[in-house]
Amino acid sequence: MIGTWLRVALVVVGSALASVAVHAETVVLRGGSVYASPDAAALPDAVVVMTDGVISAVGKSGDVTLPSDARVIDCTGKTIVAGFWNSHVHFTQSSWRNAGAAPAAALTQHMQEMLTRWGFTTVWDLGSDPRNTLPLRRRIAAGEVAGPNILLAGNIFPKGPCICRPKYSFRKPRRRRSRRSGRATGSRWARTASSCSPARSWATSRS
């Protein structure tokens, strides 16, 4: 069960957990009902222990040893689930400009207002200035800014209007140029666009 929770933040329905800094301290959520995975039954009166931002223990109250220096949050009557994914975000607002040098506290506040207060712990950036997004992602990974895991997608491929064709073929050199361009800006994923319904859309990518 614990493995399901590793590297995942928590959402406590009806509480202000998003405002709690979990780095460099131990936080205990006690008394809530925990869903460890979508297909698992709820674990009532549970305890979740997070150490340095990583979940180290999940279990029934009384079965888990609580660290003496832990900050305990009473979650009685609350529901605890794994963090949500947001598959379409943009860091294009003025608050994200100069993210490499902007005050960490201000960036954390913006992140809470936009994402973490709603329980999002992993997000897909589908089009922002990498000069802001990449430093922001690095500062989150370093623990300077409290925020979600950020995945980057490259520019829309292929370029042009979102039209629907029975089949669209890409020459290898074009694919490779797009891939190299994406990697140069920190992207590891392709972004496609089409007006086709999902049932009619298909794509094949080969090296």
The amino acid that residue 59 corresponds to is G
Q: Is the pLDDT of residue 136 over 60?
A: yes
Q: Would you state the pLDDT for residue 178? A: 53
Contact 143, 53 (CB under 8 A): yes
Residue range 13-66, pLDDT digits in tens: 433 444 444 446 899 999 999 998 888 899 999 999 998 878 999 999 989 999
Bigger pLDDT: 128 vs 199: 128
Higher pLDDT, 147 or 7: 147
Give the pLDDT confidence score for residue 101 in this predicted structure.
Answer: 96
In contact, 31 and 44? CB cutoff 8 Å: no
Domains and CATH numbers, the chain: 2-82 (2.30.40.10), 85-191 (3.30.110)
Q: Provide the whole-model pTM.
A: 0.65
What is the longest distance spanned by two Cα atoms in the chain? Answer: 63
Q: What pLDDT, on the 0 to 100 scale, is given for residue 20?
A: 46
Q: What is residue 7's predicted lDDT score, i.e. its pLDDT?
A: 37
Q: Is the pLDDT of residue 143 over 80?
A: yes
pLDDT tens for 101-123 read 999 999 999 999 999 999 999 99
Three-state DSSP at 174 gives helix
Q: What is the secondary structure of 80-133 as a DSSP string?
A: EEEPEEEEEE---SGGGTTTTTS-HHHHHHHHHHHTGGGTEEEEEE-S--HHHH
Report pLDDT for 174: 55
pLDDT at 124 over 60: yes
Which one has a higher pLDDT value, 174 or 68?
68
86: β partners: 123
Cα 204 to Cα 22, 137, 160, 170: the distances in Å are 41, 29, 19, 10
DSSP state of 160: S
Strands 10-12 and 54-60, sheet pairing: unpaired
CB 43 within 8 A of CB 60: yes
More confident residue, 19 or 88: 88
Which pLDDT score is estimated for 192? 61
| Residue 175: strand, helix, or coil | helix
Q: Is the pLDDT of residue 11 over 90?
A: no
CA 4 distance to own-chain centroid? 15
pLDDT band with cut points at 50, 70 and 90 for residue 71: very high
